Amino acid sequence: MTKKTLTLAMIFVFANIAFVAPFVPSKNILPAGFGALSMPSMVLVLVLAACWRIVDRILGGPDKSYESHRWLGLFAIGGGLAHWALASPVGLGILPALAGRGSDAGLIVMLGLIVLTLAAMVKVIPYHIWKASHMLMGPLFLLVACHTFFVASPLAVGAAPWTLMAGVSIV
Number of domains in the chain: 1
pLDDT band at 119 (very low <50, low <70, confident <90, very high): confident
Contact, 168 vs 16, CB < 8 A?
A: no
For 81-109, what is the mean pLDDT?
74
Which residues, 6+ apart, have CB-to-CB distance to 156 below 8 Å? 23, 91, 162
Structural domain harbouring 157: 3-170
Higher pLDDT, 91 or 124: 124
User: Mind giving me the DSSP string for 27-83?
Assistant: GGHHHHHHHHHHHHHHHHHHHHHTT-HHHHHHHTSHHHHHHHHHHHHHHHHHHHHHH
**Choice among 109-113, 124-128, 152-156 with the minimum mean pLDDT:** 152-156
Mean pLDDT of all residues in the chain? 81
User: Using CA atoms, how far apart are residues 114 and 120, in angstroms rounded to an integer?
Assistant: 10
pTM: 0.80
Write down the pLDDT at residue 98. 64
